[in-house]
DNA sequence: CTGAAAGCGCTTACAG
DNA sequence: CTGAAAGCGCTTACAG
């Protein structure tokens, strides 16, 4: 049988002090004599004592309004997508840097979000970040009751209590419209991400409305589900038209890659010369020599950092109002769009 | 000010029962009258009561040897690599399915592993999974003291107490050697992953030794760091040789993609005709129409599931011995290697 | 600066 | 089946 790991009483006894003293020694900023502290540390080291974070959070729960469990719940969708794993990594690193711990839930549909949130609340997380999904009004209330701040990433809701950090999708769509009109494309198509998905909707509306403002119009619209395969399939349909498009804007880079593969292999087209392709996100592959995809970059590092900052502010001060933070996308001109 | 969420006493009072009864009602399998239980549930619903998982784990810690905190620590490396995000997703889903919660730590070097482990232990995780990294002997002891099982994924150590799940890297390397010799390649090169990395070492040794057994030899060796860019750069060097290789085996698919881009764009080579390329892992992009990369597939789903099973067995029965589980890689023949 | 004691919200023998 | 009570390992006023 494994004998239980040492607790603060074991250390106290061995060091000849009270248990309170041990507790203080491990709580930065508490009043304790330097001599006592070092003695306690020495003994703790020998016994290989580690403070029990679970017990600590049980105690602090009572008084401390700020950090209680030290855990932040992170809900992620489409984790296998390179863009989203990049986001998770950024969140994870940023949170770790702040001494916070991430309780992760990978969901495959919005329906799973509420359940994940429920579990997070049971675990007394100090805050929640939800990437590319929203929560129900009911769970928003639940979080409010628990005093647990929530920040949405890549999404927003009408609920005034929920913060949101995202890129300006509508504006990003407009930028692409301008680019394709400026370069004199005549049959401009759009391949949408998942149906009814807000991010896609905003990009598409910005794109289509700006096209109209510029006196152009959307030639064709097709739809995928944000995967390479779906982009590839949509391109096959579009390029089989009697009059195929001369430009395709995709709601995401991954789909744009599918389009490029289809155009080059299936139709022997030259990208940019015969067909211009634009993506959104700026994933690593977008800059690979074989792609050189023109796209709208999301400043992921800055955005995730800001989301973490907003969360922490609200954790430290519950009176803090919810915030909405919009980041402009950046047009990255590479080689997949013809010059004029 | 937010008023505190209800606890079991609040529910007990409102339902006219004891706090113990409330606790039992929420613990499956405890003796309680159906009538009492349903009354408690109704009241709990009205008050929006959720059991406090932190408090629960404080209590169960004393008696229950099995699940204590309900949390499993997962340490991942290179999260931005598509193969690794796939692994994390698989772990996350498998653990969630078992009712476990994942405490995530994303590390960027092996040096961070021990610290992550230390934090996990403080949080009383019931088990730990470490993907593609190892732990120090000191932390292995620490885990043993806490009675916390550890399973290594893609790695192994000499420590008899640490379980390991991985693909047969050595054998995988041999399979590729056989393939390239069978198809009569004459100048066979290898691009290694990170220096001294055990996964790479095993693949390379299996590859090189089998080459020799077959009367062939390694023509050239170069090295990257598992990224696309590094594979691309290594290919540039290799293909600039007066006598460039006619086959390149890469320690990972991502690097192989870099090789393909370099060969096609920089050297106008035809993949398979002028140059055969083989990868390892079988990431999604390997099967994209433009790549059709021949590779060794790792059965990720089965492997992660097995790792979770081993972990849970050990969590349920501390007497359970550590296990090592090796999975054979599967040669996936696509179009990137010439037929003869 | 230090210690005794209450309390965080549960679970679980122990009686009844 | 049910309730009173102890205990999980901490933190934190409160006295001294």
Read off the pLDDT of residues B155-181 as tens digits, 9 standing for 90 and up.
Answer: 999 998 899 999 999 999 999 999 999
What's the confidence (pLDDT) of residue A66?
60
B70-95 in b/e form (b: 16+ CB < 10 A) is bbbbbbbbbbbbbbbbbbbbbbbbbb
Which nucleotide lies at the shortest CA–C1' distance from B10? C9
Query: Would you say residue A31 has pLDDT above 60?
Result: yes
Tell me where in chain B the CATH 3.40.50.2300 domain(s) lie. 71-167+300-327, 169-298
Tally the residues of chain B. 340
A68 confidence band (pLDDT: 50, 70, 90): confident
Number of alpha helices (DSSP H) and beta strands (DSSP E) in chain A: 12, 12
CATH of B71-167+300-327, one of 3.90.1150.10, 3.20.20.140, 3.40.50.2300, 3.40.50.300: 3.40.50.2300
CATH code for the domain defined by A8-51: 1.10.260.40
| Strand D nucleotides, any atom under 7 Å to a protein CB | 1-5, 7-13
User: Cβ of A55 < 7 Å from strand D?
Assistant: yes
What is the CB-side half-sphere exposure of residue B334 using CA atoms within 13 A?
22
| Three-class SS state of A77 | strand
Which residue's structure tokens are 């990294």? B133
Mean pLDDT of the residues in chain A: 94
Q: Give the full edge-to-edge strand order of the sheet including B163-167.
A: A324-327, A163-167, A150-153, A127-131, A71-77, A101-107, B101-107, B71-77, B127-131, B150-153, B163-167, B324-327
Contacts of residue A232 in chain B, CB cutoff 8 Å?
288-289
For residues B134 and B152, the answer to whether their CB atoms sit within 8 Å is yes
Least confident of A54-63, B155-164, B266-275: A54-63
| CA to C1' distance (Å), from A22 to C4 | 14
User: Cβ of A24 < 7 Å from strand C?
Assistant: yes
Query: Among A54, A260, A289, whose Cβ lies nearest the Cβ of B58?
Result: A54
- pTM listed for this prediction: 0.94
What's the confidence (pLDDT) of residue A1?
42
Mutate to test the interface with A, among B72, B117, B290, B317 (most CBs of A within 10 A): B290
Task: Flag whether residue B109 sits within 8 Å of chain A, measured between CB atoms.
Answer: no
Summarised one tens digit per residue, pLDDT across range B124-147 is: 999 999 999 999 999 999 999 888
Measured CA to CA, the distance from residue A8 to residue A30 in angstroms comes to 16
What's the confidence (pLDDT) of residue B331?
98
Query: Would you say residue B63 has pLDDT above 90?
Result: no
What's the confidence (pLDDT) of residue B1?
42
What 8-state DSSP symbol labels residue A328?
Answer: -
| Three-class SS state of A102 | strand
Measured CA to CA, the distance from residue A70 to residue A84 in angstroms comes to 24
If you measure CA to C1', which residue is closest to nucleotide C7?
A: A59
Query: Among A61, A145, A264, whose Cβ lies nearest the Cβ of B290?
Result: A264
What's the confidence (pLDDT) of residue B66?
60
Measured CA to CA, the distance from residue B322 to residue B149 in angstroms comes to 9
Task: Give the rounded distance of the alpha carbon of A132 from its chain centre.
Answer: 7
Summarised one tens digit per residue, pLDDT across range A72-107 is: 999 999 999 999 999 999 999 999 999 999 999 999
Nearest CA in chain B to A88: B79
| Three-class SS state of A118 | helix
Query: Would you say residue A64 has pLDDT above 80?
Result: no
Measured CA to CA, the distance from residue B142 to residue B137 in angstroms comes to 9
Q: Under CATH, what is the fold of the domain A169-298? A: Rossmann fold (3.40.50)
What's the confidence (pLDDT) of residue A194?
87
Query: Among B5, B69, B71, whose Cβ lies nearest the Cβ of A146?
Result: B5
Q: Which of residues 2-31 of A touch strand D (CB under 7 A)?
A: 4, 7-9, 19-20, 23-24, 26-27, 30
Tell me where in chain A the CATH 1.10.260.40 domain(s) lie. 8-51
Average pLDDT over residues A125-145: 93
Residues in A 273-332 with any Cβ partner in B closer than 8 A = 284-285, 288-290, 318
Query: Cβ separation of B284 and A103 shorter than 8 Å?
Result: no
Which nucleotide lies at the shortest CA–C1' distance from A60? D11
Q: Which of residues 180-239 of B touch strand C (CB under 7 A)?
A: none
Mutate to test the interface with B, among A122, A231, A262, A319 (most CBs of B within 10 A): A122
Residues in A 183-212 with any Cβ partner in B closer than 8 A = none
Most confident range, picked from A23-27, A236-240, B30-34 = A236-240
Share of chain A above pLDDT 70, in %: 98
What is the CB-side half-sphere exposure of residue B97 using CA atoms within 13 A?
12
Query: Cβ separation of A5 and B104 shorter than 8 Å?
Result: no
Query: Among A92, A108, A145, whose Cβ lies nearest the Cβ of B48?
Result: A145
Query: Would you say residue B64 has pLDDT above 80?
Result: no
Task: Enumerate residues 6+ apart whose C-beta is below 8 A from B304.
Answer: B87, B90, B91, B94, B153, B165
Average pLDDT over residues B172-198: 96
Backbone angles phi, psi at B127, to 5 degrees: -170, 165
Query: Cβ separation of A101 and B102 shorter than 8 Å?
Result: no
Q: What secondary structure does DSSP assign to B9-57, as a single string?
A: HHHHHHHTS-HHHHHHHTSTT----HHHHHHHHHHHHHHT----HHHHH
User: Cβ of A248 < 7 Å from strand C?
Assistant: no
A157 confidence band (pLDDT: 50, 70, 90): very high
């Amino acid at each position: 049988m494994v004998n239980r790991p040492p607790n603060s009483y074991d250390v106290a006894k061995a060091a000849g002090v009270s248990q309170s003293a041990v507790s203080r020694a491990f709580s930065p900023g508490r009043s304790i004599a330097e001599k006592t502290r070092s003695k306690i540390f020495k003994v703790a080291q020998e016994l290989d004592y580690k403070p029990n974070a679970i017990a600590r959070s049980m105690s602090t729960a009572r008084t401390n309004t700020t950090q209680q469990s030290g855990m932040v719940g992170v809900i992620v969708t489409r984790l296998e997508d390179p863009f989203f794993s990049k986001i998770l990594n950024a969140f994870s690193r940023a949170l770790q840097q702040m001494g916070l711990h991430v309780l992760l839930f990978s969901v495959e549909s919005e329906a799973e979000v509420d359940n994940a949130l429920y579990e997070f609340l049971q675990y007394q997380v100090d805050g929640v970040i939800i990437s590319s999904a929203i929560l129900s009004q009911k769970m928003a209330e639940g979080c409010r009751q628990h005093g647990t701040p929530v920040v949405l990433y890549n999404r927003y809701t009408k609920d005034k209590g929920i913060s949101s950090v995202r890129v300006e999708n509508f504006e990003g769509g407009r930028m692409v419209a301008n680019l394709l009109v400026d370069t004199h494309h005549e049959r401009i198509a759009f391949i949408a991400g998942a149906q009814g998905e807000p991010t896609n909707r905003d990009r598409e509306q910005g794109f289509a409305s700006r096209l109209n403002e510029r006196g152009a119009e959307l030639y064709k619209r097709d739809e995928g589900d944000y995967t390479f395969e779906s982009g590839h399939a949509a391109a096959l349909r579009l390029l089989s038209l009697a009059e195929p498009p001369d430009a395709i804007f995709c709601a995401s880079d991954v789909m744009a890659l599918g389009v490029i593969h289809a155009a080059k292999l299936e139709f022997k087209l030259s990208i940019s010369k015969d067909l211009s392709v634009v993506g959104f996100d700026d994933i690593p592959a977008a800059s690979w020599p074989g792609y050189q995809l023109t796209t709208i970059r999301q400043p992921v590092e800055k955005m995730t950092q800001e989301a973490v900052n907003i969360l922490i502010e609200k954790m430290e001060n519950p009176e803090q109002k919810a915030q909405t933070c919009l980041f402009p996308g950046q047009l990255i001109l590479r080689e997949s769009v013809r010059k004029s």
